[in-house]
Amino acid sequence: MDFLSTVKGSALEGFYPSGWDFARIDACIDDPQTICDRQDFWNPEFTPVKCDSLNEFETYMGHEIALKIKEAKDKKQKIAFILPVGPMGMYKWVVYFLKAWQVSCEHVYTFNMDEWADGEGNTLSADNAGSFQYAMEQALFNPLGELTVPREHRNFATKANLPTYPEKIASLKAEGAELVLVYGIGRMCHIAFWEPTFAEDYDSAEEWERAPYRIGAKIHPLTVEQNALTSFKSRTTLVPCRANTIGPGLFLQADYAIGGADGTLGRGMQWQGMSLWMTLRYGKTPWITSSYIPTIKGKLFFLEALAGPLVAECN
């Protein structure tokens, strides 16, 4: 017995995105040693990178971001980043390397990819400890001190500011700035809070790919639970059910992408292994947002344990 043989008539029938082919999803999962095997739909310059430990993972991601900042500085060019709040451990290493190299971020522009919101798109105040803006200031902007990103270069996904992202990013790219996407992969394979269920609202993949953002977007129940487990110590009642988020019309413009998958929990438990395999093997489709990631030049760092083996165990 398994999911496919028992789902019909169950409480889960119709719960997942209608475009998910679970037989195909299951077929994505393979021998852990093959997870980095190149696929036909990958960008030739997309590379998955195995990490042995969380410390290694955080250091590698932080170094990759800091190096991009330094390289742009050396070339006297502007650089723009689409940034997540999670994975977070990478930011302490961004700070470490930039301070060690004494690289100022005066040429850096940042666009936070999402923010908790209500149905109207209203967000928490910047000084609220639950807001993504507060998290970014504590993890990155404040620790950088005099080297930090200028305040006027920082963008957060508020109801008023998110609609300005497309024009601001287009202007920076027109000036020769590289756009770098930094991301994590959700349990539902979302990038930012762009859920796979949103595919229902578009007539074609091309229309979906042009969508720039959503205000007060409905996030999937499993995304709420993912955040309850990873950020709110299991307290579901603290997790907002909506968010403002960028869409593929922005993140697919990235010239380079730096990704992370670190979703292990302890005692052999994890939540991100299947999502990682889906990202790398399913093939590009709006029904799996992260399936577009391998089509972008860049690196995806992941904890080796996520590769599996993903098998049933009795505990």
Give pLDDT tens digits along the chain (315 positions): 999 999 999 999 999 999 999 999 999 999 999 999 999 999 999 999 999 999 999 999 999 999 999 999 999 999 999 999 989 999 999 999 999 999 999 999 999 999 999 999 999 999 999 999 999 999 999 999 999 999 999 999 999 999 999 999 999 999 999 999 999 999 999 999 999 999 999 999 999 999 999 999 999 999 999 999 999 999 999 999 999 999 999 999 999 999 999 999 988 899 999 999 999 999 999 999 999 999 999 999 999 999 999 987 655
Asked if 119 and 77 touch (Cβ cutoff 8 Å), the reply is: no
Question: What does CATH list as the number for 43-307?
Answer: 3.40.50.1360
Say how far apart CA 207 and CA 296 lie, in whole Å.
19
Using only C-alpha atoms, the chain has a radius of gyration, in whole angstroms, of 19
The two tokens of residue 252 are 């697919």
Give the number of other CB atoms < 10 A from CB of residue 286. Answer: 24
Say how far apart CA 249 and CA 6 lie, in whole Å.
38
Asked if 163 and 213 touch (Cβ cutoff 8 Å), the reply is: yes
Say how far apart CA 272 and CA 310 lie, in whole Å.
11
The pTM assigned to this predicted structure is 0.97
pLDDT of residue 311: 81
3-state secondary structure the chain: CCHHHHCCCCCCCCCCCCCCCHHHHHHHCCCHHHCCCCCCCCCCCEEEEEECCHHHHHHHHHHHHHHHHHHHHHCCCCEEEEECCCCCCHHHHHHHHHHHHCCCCCCEEEEECEEEECCCCCCCCCCCCCCHHHHHHHHHHCCCHHHCCCHHHEECCCCCCHHHHHHHHHHHHHCCCEEEEEEECCCCCCECCECHHHHHHCCCHHHHHHCCEEEEEECCHHHHHHHHHHHCCCCHHHCCCEEEEECHHHHCCCCEEEEEECCEEECCEECCHHHHHHHHHCCCECCEHHHHHHHCCEEEEEEHHHHCCCCCCCC
Omega before residue 309 within 30° of 0, cis: yes
**In the block, which residue shows the tokens 């129940």?**
221
pLDDT of residue 161: 98
In sequence order, what are the residues at sequence separation of 6 or more whose Cβ sits closer than 8 angstroms to the Cβ of residue 9? Answer: none
Residue of 264, 267, 268 whose CA lies nearest to 276: 264
pLDDT of residue 313: 65
Say how far apart CA 158 and CA 28 lie, in whole Å.
37
